Amino acid sequence: MKKILLVLLLAAVMVVVCHAAQPPKMEYIKVGTGGNLTFKLKKAEIGSVLQIFAKYIGCNIVAGDDVSGEVTFSFNNVKPREGLEAILRAKGYDWFQEGETLVVTAKNTVRTYSLEYANAAEVRDALSFLAESGDSISVNTSYNALIVKASTKNISRIEKAIRDLDTPPMQVMVEARMIEVNYGDGGSIGLDVKYTNPKNANDVAQTKGFAGRPTDTGAMGMYTQVLSGNYEGYLSALLAKTNYNLVAAPRIATINHKPASILIGSKIGYRTAVITTTGTVYQVNFLTTGTNLEITPHVGSEGFIRMKIYPKVSEGTVVQDLPTENVTETNSEVLVKDGQTVVIGGLTKSAETQTDYGIPFLMDIPIIGGIFRKSTIINEKRELLVFITPHILTPEYLTKISNESKLIIDREKREGAGFIH
């Protein structure tokens, strides 16, 4: 009994194999002048049809897994290539030539790419030039993903571009020191930099198209200076000769090509009225004053950092809900090495201080108090110097700042002081 079942099973398999291996049934085929074909097929598997055309076209044909189904057609004296393309168009397939091979695929392929590092919307915009007619690239913001619909030929190009763009971005740590220098009554204002290595400074800046010497920005006498040599030593010497106030010493990290901003100031509120059809609505707006610094780093392949720097110093008042702002601002662009320092100067202001002294009580008597009082007016000139030092966040630098942070924490614990934010 078992032998009979085995024989029947083998016979069935042979029938199936023989049936699958049979070529498509052709009612007739004729090769005419110039290799033109005249033939007719009915309900033939598309894979077998491609084999027939490969023979007469004289090239290899590779079909994707999504190319399947039956076709029925009748051709009369048609070129083999034109006949094949007519069938593929009718079935909605796409094709392209790679060397001696014709690749046949479904018309459009849909794939989803989840991005790890890059912003999906920004990548979509960057890939727009790769999209062909009928292609689409959409963004899923919730998952930071791209949904791509394109031909198989084009989707491989888009996929490669996505892989190239979705890479870990470089990061830059920006150290800034904002120092307000008081020059007293009179005296020169400005930065007097002693170049310990002027050739190096010029090589870095001027050969790349940026100024290495103090550059007047044209805005209220502001200037930008790329320092060379011993920056810490120069800074110590400067502060030893002047009265100064360390306004802030922030350290902020940002991604390459992304802006980082530092604001030290205050927001002054004022009220505005908006008249609508239902009445008057009052809103509270804020005037931001103080020192604002915005830096956008661009890291080059050789370790140079191009920085766009936007410093702004403002003072403002609000009188009867009318804001007034005095602003000193500029835009500059410099090129430095990793760890090299840039200083922005010329952010100056004058302050007038009146000091009254004399005989107590008598100097305060109206009208005659001036006899017993003497006033001294002091004009102070102050300049805000902003020192900016960018560092590319390499593993070595991260280890360095981690060790520095531990030392600061240990010192604060020993001295019993709190952290200053």
Q: pLDDT tens for residues 127-182?
A: 988 888 778 899 999 999 999 988 777 888 899 999 999 998 889 999 988 888 87
Mean pLDDT over 69-84 rounds to: 81
Query: Is 95 a residue whose pLDDT tops 80?
Result: no
Q: For residues 236, 240, 241 and 242, what is the CA-based torsion angle, rounded to 10 degrees?
A: 100
Query: Is 115 a residue whose pLDDT tops 90?
Result: yes
CA–CA separation, 213 and 91 (whole Å): 69
Query: Is 314 a residue whose pLDDT tops 80?
Result: yes
CA–CA separation, 165 and 126 (whole Å): 9
Q: Do the beta carbons of residue 97 and residue 56 sit within 8 Å?
A: no
Closest CA to 177 of 35, 341, 34: 341
Question: Facing residues of 193 across strands?
Answer: none
Query: Is 349 a residue whose pLDDT tops 90?
Result: no
Q: At what angle do helices 80-91 and 46-57 cross, to 10 degrees?
A: 160
Higher pLDDT, 162 or 360: 162
Higher pLDDT, 237 or 346: 346
User: Model's pTM, two decimal places?
Assistant: 0.59
Mean pLDDT over 110-124 rounds to: 91
Beta strands in 163-278 (DSSP E): 171-182, 215-216, 223-226, 243-248, 251-255, 260-276
The reply to whether domains 24-106 and 109-166 share a CATH topology is no
Percent residues over pLDDT 70 in the chain: 77
Q: Which residues 6+ apart lie within 8 Å of 162 measured at CB?
A: 113, 115, 123, 127, 146
Domains of the chain: which residue ranges?
A: 24-106, 109-166, 174-178+245-414
Which CATH number describes the domain made up of 24-106? 3.55.50.30
Q: Residue 294 has what pLDDT? A: 92
CATH architecture of 109-166: 2-Layer Sandwich (3.30)
Query: Is 44 a residue whose pLDDT tops 90?
Result: no
Higher pLDDT, 363 or 77: 77
Mean pLDDT over 265-269 rounds to: 86
Q: Do the beta carbons of residue 162 and residue 127 sit within 8 Å?
A: yes
Q: Residue 210 has what pLDDT? A: 34
